[in-house]
Amino acid sequence: MSHEATMRKFFQELESLDMKRIAAYCAEGCVYEDVPIGDAATAVGPAAIQAKLEGGFRDVDKLVTTIHEIAENGSTLLIERTEVWHHPTGEQVPLPVMAVFKFDAAGKITLWRDHWDVATLMNNQPKSWLERIGQDAG
Whether residue 4 has pLDDT greater than 70: yes
**The predicted structure's pLDDT at residue 21:** 96
For residue 2, give the H/E element and its range.
none
**The predicted structure's pLDDT at residue 137:** 60
How many of the other CB atoms lie within 10 Å of CB of 38? 9
Confidence of residue 108 (pLDDT cuts 50, 70, 90): very high
By C-alpha distance, which of 73, 70, 61 is closest to 9?
70
Q: What is the mean pLDDT of the chain?
A: 93
User: How many domains does the chain divide into?
Assistant: 1
Cα(34)–Cα(28) distance, integer angstroms = 18
- Give the model confidence (pLDDT) of 64-88 as tens digits: 999 999 999 999 999 999 999 999 9
Domain carrying residue 119: 3-137
The CATH number given to whatever domain includes residue 120 is 3.10.450.50
pTM strictly above 0.75: yes
Sign of CA dihedral 138, 91, 81, 14: positive
